């Protein structure tokens, strides 16, 4: 009798012990979500690394169940090749999320693109990365807004590595008066300084070594904080070119306006050194508060 019962209940026992709920449809998601009060939310595109996991450490401090999503958002890629070769590792991602006390992983399918409110990002989105990736931030805000409306989180954590993205989402959320606390979490780096990124897996070991030049360049700018001038920025740009990078931008910007700014001038905000550069077809970005 006991034997038969345990056999019957075995699948249920497994479900009880696997804490991470993995949900693929909106209908199932709404059912699960309704069992929770306030939650923290961490959206990702998967191929998780320690940079992503650090967002969970930030979220854990908020003491709310953590919900995450993995969705490679086609709307934010303006290069089809970049989209199709975006690295994927769902099985490993799920294992990592289980180790992070993640309560629920939402894996939306393409139906998330139905009945979309298309968001037009403000003019700040045309600077820096936006000037090299037209429409990128419209795509980011459109999907983040949709995910927010599904998740209804009280907090959402984003990496400061993607500083322009973080700022645009924060300001979008404020402008819509969304009751969501947008939290920026510090950039996690490899030992050589290279900011962790899913795209790093597309680099050879030599390229990985070389990619640390981006961080070294940011440090060089920061170390010259007291005498920043156009020549220093030009020097950094040229030196990156010589090392084989195709540079999209090397800029020192104001953290609020995102406009180029080489000194504080009693402005509000901070100075941020920001670089986007390509090694072959792999585009890397990083920044450092000065």
What are the residues binding ligand AMP (CB under 6 A)?
Answer: 44-45, 51-52, 54-55, 158-159, 161-162, 185, 187-188, 195-198
Is the Cβ of residue 196 or residue 253 nearer to ligand AMP in the bound state? Answer: 196
Q: Which long-range contacts (CB under 8 A, 24 or more apart) does 93-98 make?
A: 93/46, 93/47, 93/48, 94/20, 94/22, 96/48, 96/52, 96/53, 97/20, 97/48, 97/68, 98/18, 98/19, 98/20
Strand pairing class (40-44; 21-23) = unpaired
Task: Mark 144-183 as b/e (b = at least 16 C-beta within 10 Å).
Answer: bbbbbebbbbebbbbbbbbbbbbbbbbbbbeeeebebebb
Please give the structure tokens belonging to residue 215.
């961080």
The least CB distance from residue 181 to ligand AMP, in Å, is 15
Q: If 0-12 CB within 10 Å is exposed, 13-18 middle and 19+ buried, where does residue 12 land?
A: exposed
The least CB distance from residue 198 to ligand AMP, in Å, is 5
Cα gap 138→120, rounded to integer Å: 5
The least CB distance from residue 276 to ligand AMP, in Å, is 14
Is the Cβ of residue 82 or residue 235 nearer to ligand AMP in the bound state? Answer: 82
The least CB distance from residue 237 to ligand AMP, in Å, is 23
The least CB distance from residue 287 to ligand AMP, in Å, is 11
Is the Cβ of residue 162 or residue 213 nearer to ligand AMP in the bound state? Answer: 162
Cα gap 66→75, rounded to integer Å: 25
Q: Cα–chain-centroid distance for residue 279?
A: 20
Is the Cβ of residue 153 or residue 159 nearer to ligand AMP in the bound state? Answer: 159
Cα gap 110→74, rounded to integer Å: 10
Is the Cβ of residue 44 or residue 142 nearer to ligand AMP in the bound state? Answer: 44
Known catalytic residues are 52
């Amino acid at each position: 009798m006991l034997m038969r019962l345990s056999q019957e209940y075995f699948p249920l026992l497994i479900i009880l012990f696997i804490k991470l709920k993995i949900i693929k449809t909106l209908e199932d998601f709404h059912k699960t979500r309704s069992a929770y009060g306030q939650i923290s939310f961490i959206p990702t595109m998967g191929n998780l690394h320690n940079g992503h996991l650090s967002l969970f450490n930030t979220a854990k401090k908020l003491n709310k169940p953590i919900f995450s999503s993995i969705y490679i958002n086609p709307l934010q890629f303006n290069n089809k090749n970049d989209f199709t070769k975006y690295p994927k590792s769902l099985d490993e991602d799920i294992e990592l999320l289980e180790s992070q006390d993640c309560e629920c992983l939402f894996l939306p399918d393409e139906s998330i693109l139905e009945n979309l409110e298309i968001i037009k990002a403000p003019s700040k989105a045309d600077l820096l990365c936006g000037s090299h990736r037209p429409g990128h931030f419209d795509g980011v805000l459109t999907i983040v807004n949709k995910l927010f409306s599904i998740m209804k989180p009280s907090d959402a954590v984003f990496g400061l590595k993607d500083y322009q993205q973080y700022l645009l989402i924060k300001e979008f959320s404020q402008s819509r008066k969304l009751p969501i606390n947008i939290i920026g979490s510090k950039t996690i780096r490899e030992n050589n300084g290279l900011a962790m990124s899913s795209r790093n897996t597309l680099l050879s070991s030599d390229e990985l070594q070389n990619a640390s030049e981006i961080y070294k360049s940011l440090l060089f700018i920061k170390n010259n904080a007291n005498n920043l001038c156009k020549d220093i920025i030009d020097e950094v740009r040229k030196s990156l070119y010589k090392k084989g990078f195709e540079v999209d931008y090397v800029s020192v910007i104001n953290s609020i306006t995102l406009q180029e700014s080489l000194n504080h001038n009693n402005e509000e905000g901070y100075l941020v050194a920001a670089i986007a550069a390509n090694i072959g077809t792999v585009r890397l970005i990083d920044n450092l508060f000065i």
